[in-house]
Amino acid sequence: MAAATKKATGFTAAERKAMKERAEELKLEGRGGKKKCEAAKACLEKIAEMPDGDRAIVERIHAIVATVAPELEPKTMYGMPAYARDGKVVCFFQAASKFDTRYCTLGFEDLAHLDSGTMWPTTYAITELDEANVKKIEKLVKQAVG
């Protein structure tokens, strides 16, 4: 009987990098917390590092959040842009390049007020931002902080 081929298990390099970034974020927060300006700067730095396609989408999302929900504070979560209230993430962006996926995602944590019956979406795939998508995101962010 031939030996069965063993499938690799464990975390990918990208997943390990994201976990290390999150551990560093938590360590900094645990040391008296990142100041809001430092957290916002880290968010903008992560946006600037992204490939053009991802960056164009997240820059628009960043502007939408700043306009529609100025009470949310920019920060990073797992090395990606996130927006928080009282230190707790409400919504976040994940670049397609982060884990080499087909699309970017805009996600909402459980603090977001998106409840609709007993089941609703909390993560949205984005391949491009046209005006209709911008309007949808504006509405979702408004509802999330509602």
CA-to-CA separations, 43 to 23, 65, 67, 118, in angstroms, rounded? 16, 13, 16, 33
Q: Where are the alpha helices (DSSP H) in 1-146?
A: 13-30, 36-49, 52-68, 131-145
pLDDT digit string (tens) for 37-49?
888 999 999 999 9
| Residue 1 confidence (pLDDT) above 50 | no
* Structural domains in the chain (count): 1
21 is a domain residue:
yes
CA–CA dist 21, 120 (Å, integer): 29
CATH (domain of 100): 3.90.1150.200
pLDDT digit string (tens) for 62-112?
999 999 999 999 999 999 999 999 989 999 999 999 999 999 999 999 999
- Tell me the residue type at 25: E
19 is a domain residue:
yes
42 is a domain residue:
yes
Phi, psi (5° rounding) for residue 94?
-125, 120
- Radius of gyration, CA atoms only, the chain: 17
Mean pLDDT across the chain, nearest whole number?
A: 90
138 is a domain residue:
yes
1 is a domain residue:
no
